[in-house]
Structures are given as C-alpha cells and as structure tokens.
Amino acid sequence: MYKRTTPNRNKKVSKMTNMPLESTPKKHRFFASLRNNFFTGIVVALPIGLTIWLITWFVNIVDTKVKPLMPAEFVPGWVFAIPGLGIIISIIALWLLGAIATNFFGSRLLRFGESLVSRVPLVRNIYKTLKQIVVTMARQKDQAFKEVCLLEYPRKGLWAVGFITSDLKGAPSKHLTDDYVCVFVPTTPNPTSGFLLFVKRTDLKILDMTPEEGAKMIISGGMVTSNKDLEEPTPSL
C-alpha cells in the first residue's frame, strides 16, 4: 500500500523561531552596553568638567578685578593676556601686606589706619565686627569644626549632622552652665547657611568622621558618606 510521507514541519518551524531568539539577546546586550558606557562617561566627565569650570570661573573673576588696577603704561600688553595673573598678583600682594604688618613700622602704620577707621561711625562697626570674626577664627582654627556630631533636631526622633565649633562663651554661658557647646547645623546642599545651636555635650553623638567627610555628606544629600565612596570604582549604570 502506498504510504504518503509528509515533510517534518516541526523542524522548519523550530529553525525559523530560533533565528530571532538568537539575534534578539545580542541586540539587547549591544544597546545595554551602549547605554552603560554612555552614562559611565557622564559620571566620569561631570566632576572633571565642573572642576575645570569652577577653577576657570574663579580665575576669570580675580583677573577682571585685579588686572584693571595694573598701570597699562608700564606693563606690556602681552602680560595682560596671561591667565591667572590676577591670582599671582593677589598672592604676592597678600604676602607683602603680611610682611609689612609684622614689621615694627608696618604695625604702627596699621594701628594708625585703624584709628582713622574707628572715627567713621558706620564703617567702624562693620570693620570691628569683621575683624573680630576673622581673628577669632584664625586663633581657633585648630579647634573649630574638628568634631562632627549627631543631634536630635528639629524635634525628638529626627537627627541632623552638625559641627562643634567651640565651647559656649559670652553672655549665654552665664545661663547655660552645664557643659554646653556651640553646634553649627548646615543646610543641604548649601552648607554656608545653617543654624547655630547651644547643646549639651552629653546630648551629642560624636561621629568617627572628618569635617571634610561631614561636609561631603551634607552637600551630596547623604549619597557620599566617606572618602571611601569616592575611591570605589565607577559604577556601571
């Protein structure tokens, strides 16, 4: 009896279905690698670009303020084209000012200038306040902002990162006598503003962090907690 044979369609179907299944993962891997490399490049380039931009911005600001003070009659034109010239002149000027102020005649001249400033009603208050702040910070540079702490703020159960600036002094210390310290609590992401709090040292938790690590944590919103986070390999996104 004649037996009719039918072609094996299952093999053809399996071959046809296997072709797109093999090519699709390769496409996914290619686009995933392309995306990861692109975002990794952004992670690497962004801090470098921001650093260069900030340095360039600062140099340009100083140059635009200092270069116009230079006498164009005695300085060649090519000197004004040197980038960073304003910073170099500022450093030299500050060094000369410090050398003069430590000299006997320079210190007497400085006191004479301060006596003239103290006779101007509004200027003397501003000058004395700024001088007191700068001198105090210069004297306490080894103690100020050396300890990073945790304190319950703004209410119980919530904790904030702060910096111990000094022991409590002045008029508040007459009312707060139980070992109070001055704690500066910065805001995020701008640490130049914040709140000054008078807190008992026993109510603080001292952290095993450097002031630099504490500032990085505040500026980054908690994403960077230590220098080890910056030393880790660049993440693939």
Give the model confidence (pLDDT) of 146-156 as tens digits: 789 999 998 88
The pLDDT assigned to 16 comes to 47
Cα atoms in the 13 Å half-sphere on the side-chain side of 46: 7
Residue pair 183/166 in contact (Cβ under 8 Å)? The answer is: no
d(CA 4, CA 44): 68
Mean pLDDT, residues 158-176: 91
Residue pair 212/161 in contact (Cβ under 8 Å)? The answer is: no
Mean pLDDT, residues 83-97: 87
Mean pLDDT, residues 117-128: 84
Range among 115-119, 129-133, 154-158 rated most confident:
154-158
The pLDDT assigned to 232 comes to 52
Residue 174 has pLDDT above 70, yes or no: yes
Give the model confidence (pLDDT) of 24-82 as tens digits: 667 677 778 888 888 888 888 888 898 999 999 998 898 888 888 888 777 777 777 78
Give the model confidence (pLDDT) of 179-227 as tens digits: 899 999 999 888 888 999 999 999 999 999 888 899 889 988 888 876 6
Residue 170 has pLDDT above 50, yes or no: yes
The lowest-confidence range among 75-79, 115-119, 161-165, 183-187 is 75-79
The pLDDT assigned to 207 comes to 93
d(CA 52, CA 48): 6
The pLDDT assigned to 24 comes to 62
Q: Which of 218, 119, 124 is nearest to 163 (CA)?
A: 218
The pLDDT assigned to 13 comes to 46
d(CA 166, CA 145): 8
Residue 11 has pLDDT above 90, yes or no: no
The lowest-confidence range among 2-6, 24-28, 170-174 is 2-6
DSSP 8-state class, residue 236: P
